A and B are shown apart, each in its own frame.
Chain A
Amino acid sequence: MSDEHDVARRRLELWRRLYATMVRIRAFEERLADLVDAGEVRGPCHLSIGQEAIAAGVCTAIDTDDTIWGGHRSHGHYIAKGGDPRAMMAEIFGKATGCSRGRGGSMHIFAPQVGLLGTVPLVAATIPIAVGAALASKLRGDGRVAVAFFGDGATEEGHFHESVNLAGVYRLPVLFVCENNFYSSHMALLERRVSDNIALTGSAHGIPGVVVDGNDVVEVHRVADAAAERARRGDGPTLLECRTYRWRGHVGTSWDMDVGVRRKDELAEWLPKDPIARLRRELIECGVAESDLDREDETTHDLIAEAVVFSRTSSLPDPAELGDHVFTTATGK
């Protein structure tokens, strides 16, 4: 009886953690969208609104020491892994206090203290890099897992196929997490490939390929947890195809309907599948008070508001430092 109680308590704790992570990502990006619309943020921002369950589900299934690697749409990964929202917001503002001290902007974010070792927008570029982190783990026997996050477009790159094969042949502890939102920029999935079958790429390369409802954060967490466990056992990589939908356009804050890229009815079909609303309903069904969740949401919004204040009041990088960091001056010999 007490065991059952314990399981239920732990499950609820996990769900609340998943919920809080998703809300934090959403709050960050909704606020960022306002700042982009207001012209206060000028650089390109790729929002993951609607896709939060994947970052949250995967990053809560691994440890701080495990590494994650992302792309152009990685604000969610940063937050889910435990990165400081102030340092990311300041980076997007181009401030010296940013996580990349104003060298990177929204697409190049970094939180090494929590295992986010870099995101870059060159599509698929961090897939082999994650494989290399996994190779290092295998050579050292340190038990760490590496996660590559990428979109459906990245599965069309040679990087991806070479990497899956490489990780497969060496049985490396890596998770390939494809966030299939059915669009690469303005191009729909079936304009770019013969079949909607990304997960099958895994089996073609001799590794498990799993299709996951990417808007079901609990399911994403469960599958990622199993894949990480498998990787740590030495049984090799897993490809997770997490099917989801980005509500906003490829870049910026528009909804894409205005430019004829997508259909209104398609979005209308996905909006009710909002991963946050879904888990919120389930939490309430489990007896969590709505007022508790509201209070928690409010705290999160305050945290993001504070990140904006921090960013606004931070200094811009000194132009005299333009030439710094082309090479490292660290001597790690």
Chain B
Amino acid sequence: MRTLKYSAAIREAYAQLLRDDDRVFVFGQGLWSPWYVGASMTDLDKEFGRDRIIDSPVSENATTGAAIGAALVGMRPIVVHPRMDFMVLAMDPIVNQAANWCYLFAGGTSVPIVVRAIINRGGEQAAQHSQALQAWFMHVPGLKVVMPATAYDAKGLLISALRDDNPVIYIDDRWLYSEEEEVPEAMYEVPIGQAAIRREGVDVTIVASSFMAQQSIRAAEALAERGIDAEVVDLRSIKPWDKELVFESVRKTGRLLVADGAWKTCGVAAEIAATVASEAFDALRAPIERVCLPDLPAPASKSLEDAYYDHLGVDAVVRAAERMARVRERA
């Protein structure tokens, strides 16, 4: 089977969705630009026309609100925010509107949009070109949130997100764009809410998504060399998230490490840790650990930036897992 990079897998999903369904259109900033959205949308405007691939004015709020309006009358829009930081300007349409309308009108309507948020950090871009705000959206009832870690999932989850009748926040991370693997040419769906075990192990469960799932796979390899057999659970969707698979894994290993590429306080890792502590406490043989960013904005200068992202490094995951393994020796 041919292989595709993560970014090319996203582009293929777009092209197939646009070909498959007349109701699909894509709306957002930078869509006609050669550099804004990596290689994930190259020449889609040439292939499908600028009526369906609409590069918008600098209006995150109105474009997202308009996508909701189009969805409410039967279209299937994908709104693109090339930087998640700028998507903060669209919080009313996402949080107050898209998330609420189905409930407010008792299921009489729904908002089938995909809001694609790109995490685009590093490169000394500093605080407002770096943020990973997935926890905000996970918090809101009425939104689904997916975070693919692999090229296969990048394609399959975009297709599932678009075909879902509810608003789905699709978050991709540009640090994953060169991940490459076999990707089927046909259209396929990755079910929203279903996690995947990326590596089996018996000593510690590492739960992660997106970039941190890839970091965790690398960490598990390093841990194996040190005699620690880690199981890596890639959530793929953080809302809803696959509790059953996580519980099952924790019951096997007795240890839970959650890695999330965003701030620690009130983050995705906190939610998973709390749920496991509350609902699978008897399975735990060590305190739950979290690998996250510290509660501070991203800096610019290389020396500071390196120190900041070291918190998401493979070593950070390895060290945390080792700490947990030592608890076993004491037990």
Contacts and interface: CB of A to CB of B under 8 A. Distances in A.
Interface in B219-273: none
Contacts of B142: 326-327
Interface stretch (A43-51, A120-128, A228-236, A245-253): A120-128
A325 B109 CA distance: 10
Interface stretch (B58-66, B314-322, B323-331): B58-66
Interface in A66-95: 67, 69
B102 A328 contact: yes
B143 to A, nearest CB: 9
Contact of B73 (A117, A330, A331): A117
Nearest to B240: A327
A326 B102 CA distance: 6
Interface string B61-84: 111111111111111010000000
A272 interface: no
A169 B58 CA distance: 12
Interface stretch (A102-110, A259-267, A276-284): A102-110
Nearest to A158: B61
Given A158-B61, A327-B166, A166 B101 contact: no
Given A103-B103, A131-B69, A163 B74 contact: no
Contacts of B25: 139
B109 A117 contact: yes
Interface residues of B, number: 44
Contacts, number: 152
Interface residues on A, range: 35 or more
A137 B73 CA distance: 9
Contacts of B73: 67, 117, 132-133, 136-137
**A interface, by DSSP: helix, strand, loop or mixed?**
mixed
A213 B142 CA distance: 41
A233 to B, nearest CB: 19
A159 interface: yes
Contacts of A158: 61
A330 B107 contact: yes
Interface in A131-175: 131-137, 139-140, 146, 158-159, 162-163, 165-166, 169
B112 A130 contact: no
B280 to A, nearest CB: 23
Contact of A132 (B57, B59, B66): B66
A35 interface: no
B163 interface: yes
A154 to B, nearest CB: 12
A252 to B, nearest CB: 22
Nearest to B60: A162
Nearest to A130: B69
A324 interface: yes
Given A166-B59, A169-B57, A128 B103 contact: no
Given A118-B109, A333-B165, 14 more contacts: A99-B105, A104-B104, A108-B105, A110-B105, A110-B108, A120-B96, A120-B97, A125-B92, A129-B97, A132-B73, A133-B73, A162-B59, A165-B59, A327-B142
Interface of B: 25, 51-52, 56-57, 59, 61-75, 77, 92-93, 96-97, 100-110, 112, 141-142, 144, 163, 165-166
22 contacts: A103-B106, A104-B105, A117-B72, A122-B96, A125-B93, A129-B69, A129-B93, A132-B73, A135-B70, A136-B70, A139-B25, A139-B52, A139-B75, A158-B61, A162-B62, A163-B65, A163-B66, A166-B63, A169-B57, A326-B102, A328-B102, A328-B165
